[in-house]
Amino acid sequence: MAEIHNTVKQLINDNGKDEFLTASEILLKFADNIINHPNDPKYRKIRLANPTIENKLLPVSGALECLFEMGFIEDGEFLTFPTNIPPTLTLIQVRNELHTAIQLVRSSTGGPSTGQATPRIQQPSVTPPARQVVQRSPQAMQQAERQFFRKIESNLVHVLSYEKRDLQIKARSLIPMEELNKKARNSFSALQAADKDTSAVGVQDCFLLSLLAWFKNSFFKWVDAPECDICKGTTRSIGMAESSQEDLNWGASRVENYRCDRCNKSVRFPRYNDPGRLLDTRRGRCGEWANCFTLCCRAVGFEARYVLDWTDHVWTEVYSTSQKRWLHCDPCENACDKPLLYECGWGKKLTYVLAFSKDEVQDVSWRYSSNFKEMMSRRQEVRENWLGQVCFRLWNEKNKVVSEERRKEMEKRCIVEVVEFITQKKKDENDLSGRTTGSLAWRLARGETGSSPQASNVPFVFTPADSEKQNKLLHVRYNCAKDEYTRVTNGNEKTSGFVSCLSKCTNMFRKEEHDWKMVYLARNKELPIAALSWKFDFKDSGLKVRNIEICVKSATYENGVVSWRLCSDDHCAILKGTDDLKSVSDLNGVNSMTLTANLSGGKGDVAWQHTQLFRQKNDDFDTYPFEVKIYLE
């Protein structure tokens, strides 16, 4: 064969014959679809969760790399070939190289493969047959295990970067430690007021929740397509760019290329793998998010593990010293202790999930599945006993160099973790935590009870601060994506949690729709009615209401009903849900009032979804579906 691309060489050299032929024929089909149907957008998107991709491409060394070589780029849950451009010369070259390689491999063995290897997925039928175990030759299995081990080694080396003292110092300097500590202490005090038994929850657990929220809402930014460096316009993907030496120095072996729709400038988007560099750029997709967040966790003193899902996602685990277990933390989702999020929430077909730290590598797949049997049927890349021996050997080597006390602690944790793994989790429809028990304090801290510590014991009342008295204006607004209130005329004071500023809350919770990427407040699923109230009191200030402007966004479906009312001691005004601020003069002259929303109605099992408050995109941090301006005199 003539000189060919390195990705095609990798596909040929690193895999057995059957794996190569199966993967190459799929790749050939993807390329031919684009060449033969250049104007049909459906052939330019490949869903990563497609079983064919998961089972026949992702486990094969070089297959994904060939797609990137052709010009496909990561696009959330898809690989996408950029629209509005014809098939590239590189795509055609890779396609021809694959076609030639397939013919050569087949001719060298007298025709199509007749070995023992069988396809990983049966052909569709009316009743899908049970998945069969792949029978590989010893040589093919050894090759697959070498490839698997190289991936383990690479990640064990990478996580050592989180231990660099200079990077931890830099990360700590960027984290608002005083603010997060204050929030954690306030949250923990509220938990103690709501539930006397907080022995299973510590202040550090509350700090972790605050750190996650800060990282998601204030520090890091999700990037689908970067904005133009010059005019800040939107851009479209035009394929891949060559990595510069500086890119490679920061671990960016892949650089995506975009074109600005407004000024036509080319915009490069290096996919940095160096966590120190990510502290500067503060943007990316799940890989960058988990990479940088794990460093931040180590910088503030948490024991943290970088978690790699073989079906293409990454996140972090943090060890809770109070709960004595590892907590799942996904910074992209601001999700803590929700391990079934991916299998039950996203519908991912998990195979291998491994956690890496300076101390260990652990197969933690069992934490993230509620169906061990199905997951085991998909774990065919390596022998189970081989993977167990590798993890144990590496764990043992790491712990040979630690103190006796530390080794005993690690052994104890390992035993606790194994006990957790052998207990199959049950799906929890409300939060996908996979836990049927848990202290009230921990569920309160994560906002999963439909009421808050504050609302349970001490109703919150808005009273004017000195700056609000001086401005004769109390201006408060709430962003549901951040789950955060802002007192605008009190120095933009922030308060986390929708329940934190309520005077009353009955049967409400905050719902995140991960598939639709939306968030809103809704009533608890089992209950037909719900209500929440905000109270404002100006009696002690000597001020009274001059005018009111209110925005309360709500949505109803089927026969769902949301009713709003604003009441003083002797008068009420009926309000309508609206996206904009509307003036309300009915209560002018009063010195206290309460704003209340009542939710009811809806049809069927999803009746609770037919009444929604403050619905917005989960990354919309700049609009406020709840806003109240009270002008005083």
- Nearest one of 567, 554, 563 to 595, comparing CA atoms: 567
DSSP for 273-336, please give it: --HHHHHHH-EESHHHHHHHHHHHHHHTT--EEEEEETTTEEEEEEEETTTTEEEEEETTTTEE
Residue 286 falls in the annotated catalytic set:
yes
CA atoms within 13 A on the CB side of 117: 21
Helix, strand, coil percentages in the chain from 3-state DSSP, rounded to 5 = 40, 25, 40
Q: Say if residues 73 and 66 touch (Cβ distance below 8 Å).
A: no
Residue 330 falls in the annotated catalytic set:
yes
Q: Is 593 helix (H, G, I), strand (E, B) or coil?
A: strand
- Cα 331–313–497 angle (5° rounding)? 20
List of residues 6+ apart from 504 with CB closer than 8 A: 455, 459, 531, 532, 533, 596
**Run of H or E including 139:** helix 138-158
Q: Is 102 helix (H, G, I), strand (E, B) or coil?
A: helix
Taking the C-alpha atoms of residue 65 and residue 69, their distance in angstroms, rounded to an integer, is: 6
Q: Would you give the DSSP letter of residue 175?
A: S
Tell me which amino acid residue 129 is.
P
Residue 66 falls in the annotated catalytic set:
no
Among the listed residues 5, 313, 514, 610, the single catalytic one is 313
Among the listed residues 206, 286, 480, 501, the single catalytic one is 286
Taking the C-alpha atoms of residue 550 and residue 476, their distance in angstroms, rounded to an integer, is: 10
- Secondary structure of 79-147 as H, E, C letters: EECCCCCCCCHHHHHHHHHHHHHHHHHHHCCCCCCCCCCCCCCCCCCCCCCCCCCCCCCHHHHHHHHHH
Rounded to the nearest 5°, which phi and psi values hold at 264? 65, 15
Rounded to the nearest 5°, which phi and psi values hold at 512? -110, 120
The 10 Å Cβ neighbour count of residue 522 is: 21
Rg, C-alpha atoms of the chain: 28
- Nearest one of 568, 549, 575 to 630, comparing CA atoms: 549
Residue 588: strand pairing partners? none
List of residues 6+ apart from 586 with CB closer than 8 A: 566, 571, 572, 573
Among the listed residues 195, 330, 337, 483, the single catalytic one is 330
Show which residues are catalytic: 286, 313, 330
